[in-house]
Amino acid sequence: MPFTSFHLGPGLLLGLVFFGYLDFPTFLIANVIVDVEPFLVLALNLNYPIHGFLHSFLCSTLLALLLAVTFQKVRARLTPFTEIFELEQKISLRSVLLASFSGAHLHVLLDSPLYSDIKPFYPLDVNPFLSNNPYISFGMYAVCVLSFIGGIAIYIVKLTHQREK
């Protein structure tokens, strides 16, 4: 999914389902930050695969670590935004780490069945998740859209429940 918002669907749904364990803003960012690579390749017209090194577990792990370190330092500044959406959380290093690693790796897992240029186990030059099924793209996009709808539904239920208290 080169530089799309489709990854926000699973990020929203799983971020809300596991709200007590994952730092929500970190998880959302981690689900989409891997697509900085396709964005740069397309924007700068680079002679580089659209889904290159960042779309591997090795590099997404390094990216997740960088994201976790960054968010551990700046996460408290996002509290006014989470309060607006009534998504306040206790910030912990554990929840930020778990969110950054699981979000970045989820991105690689969601993209791996779709694109032949992804090598999730780099430096190995294989993609065991790649599917030749012509319907896999439709199915993956449908899962992402339905996840977004499900995430919105969970958010509404969460808000309604909080306001009833």
Whole-number pLDDT of residue 165 = 73
pLDDT class of 104 with cuts at 50, 70, 90: very high
User: By the 8 A CB rule, do 79 and 31 touch?
Assistant: no
Tens digit of pLDDT for each residue in 29-53? 999 999 999 999 999 999 999 999 9
Return the CA Rg of the chain.
17
Residue 69: its H or E element: helix 57-74
pLDDT tens-digit series, residues 142-164: 999 999 999 999 999 999 988 88
Residue 60: how many CB atoms within 10 A of its CB? 27
Return the pLDDT at 108.
Answer: 97
Distance separating alpha carbons of residues 38 and 82, to the nearest angstrom: 28
Q: Phi/psi class of residue 51: alpha, beta or left (left: φ > 0; alpha: ψ in -120 to 50)?
A: beta
pTM: 0.92
pLDDT by residue (tens digit) across 49-96?
999 999 999 999 999 999 999 999 999 898 999 999 999 999 999 999
Res 3: pLDDT: 54
Whether 107 has a pLDDT exceeding 90, the answer reads yes
pLDDT at residue 2, as a whole number: 53
Pair 110, 57: CB distance under 8 Å? no
State which amino acid sits at residue 1.
Answer: M
Question: What pLDDT was estimated at residue 162?
Answer: 84
E strand residue ranges, the chain: none
Say which residues have a Cβ less than 8 Å from residue 78's Cβ, sequence separation at least 6.
Answer: 25
- Tell me the pLDDT band of 134, cut-offs 50, 70 and 90: confident
